[in-house]
Amino acid sequence: MTLYDDTLALLREMIRNACVNDLTPDSGQEIHNADTLERFFAGTPGIQVSRYEPRPGRTSIVVTVPGTDPEAEPLTLLGHTDVVPVHEERWEHPPFDAEIVDGRLYGRGAMDMLFITASMAAVTRDAARNGQPKGTLTFVGIADEEARGGLGGKWLSEEHRDAFSWRNCLSETGGSHLEVADGTDALVVVVGEKGAAQRRLHVGGDAGHGSNPFGKDFSVVKIGEVARRIAAIRTPVSSDEIWQGFVRAFRFDNDTEQALLHGTDPDAYEKFGRLAAYADAMSHLTISPTVLHAGGAINVLPSHAYMELDIRPLPGMTQDDVDRVLREGLGDLADEVRIERLISEEATVSPTSGPLYDALLATFEEFFPGVPVVPTISAGGSDLRFGRRLGGVGYGFALHGRERTLADVFSQLHSHDEHLDLEDLDLTVRAYRSLVRRFVGA
């Protein structure tokens, strides 16, 4: 079997394992994919295999190919093994059968991110079979990424920091294409991600019987006004080089480009087409009201109400900055609202320079000669942020055919009938193989 065939077989088995993470502690059961991966590596010479399990069934697997030179740069491939839930009735193709139809593989996790995880594993095994690399190569099949890594990357970085090197890491995703205005091509590499600033906003009001509302201070009305004011907040556009480079890569007309760079016309985002929401998120602090709660019994006036916000700060923005934006948006209601911080994490970004980044550029050039590479940041999270916090660098890397744009890839994440074009699996396997040989000398 070829390297591609091995990867495809592994990917299909991992999809069929259905390691569905519904954000509860005992879901996921990534032990099934850990077992699959351990069988995949069985008999491979010169490797070291370790398993980590913070809770029964929530298993991560670490496969290390030791390098011959302790001074050489190491490389760690972080591939998560859990997937998000499905609404099975909305799928035309069964989500865990891993069907192949017309050159596409259908299944939950096919795009997010089991095709990359399988490619990483196959290339690691291939490297080990071809002799010791100069730098240490590690593959990590990591649990619980879809729930922000509390039983996976976060736990490993805190409790088993030395289980593998966090110095140079690759994970999801990258290598898709931009729909440049003049029809030329551009490739995407993910260099960072926004932070998290989840908030719960509390308000109070008068309790009482629902039959006697006269003169009452309604917590329900107040939280409604809080929601209206929060939804109206519009923060300044980012001024960092990543956003500026992203805008310029599209080669818009000058008026559109200036409006996007300076935030003078919100309607200009429509020029991005299907990437309008992505571009907006990349360039602003985003605030999404997602949960609202007040009362319980229909005949009781509730004295307390709250709403929850999914907030994603840009690099350089602190948690205090976020609270200040909220208070300013609340205006004269600010003193009546208590802001509770939930999950709070700073944004992380890796430099667009250095040995690993240069190796990525060289690999892109090998497969798509002369095509510019555009750094982006993700609005969502990945396990790469844990490595960056420990002083390492981390990039999202894969490779897609010319027809697969960034918008196409994003449309597959967490979607019904999630699928992967098999051309992209072939490209990603070959790109990872090339990159590994280039970077650690395998």
pLDDT single digits (tens) 185-228? 999 999 999 999 999 999 999 999 999 999 999 999 999 999 99
CA–CA distance, 114 with 420 (Å, rounded to integer): 10
Helix axes 31-41, 3-16, angle to 10 degrees: 160
What backbone phi and psi angles, to 5 degrees, belong to 23? Answer: 75, 5
- Checking if the pLDDT of 327 tops 70, the result is yes
Task: State residue 1's pLDDT score.
Answer: 81
Beta bridge partners of 208: 301
CA–CA distance, 17 with 231 (Å, rounded to integer): 40
pLDDT single digits (tens) 140-192? 999 999 999 999 999 999 999 999 999 999 999 899 999 999 999 999 999 99
Task: State residue 274's pLDDT score.
Answer: 94
| Beta carbons of 294 and 300 less than 8 angstroms apart | no
Task: State residue 344's pLDDT score.
Answer: 96
Average pLDDT over residues 81-103: 97
Mean pLDDT of the chain: 97
CA–CA distance, 105 with 87 (Å, rounded to integer): 18
Tally Cβ neighbours within 10 Å of residue 246. 25
Comparing CA positions, the residue from 48, 44, 112, 119 lying closest to residue 83 is 112
Domains of the chain, CATH where assigned: 3-180+348-440 (3.40.630.10), 196-235+285-345 (3.30.70.360), 239-276 (no CATH)
| Beta carbons of 82 and 30 less than 8 angstroms apart | yes
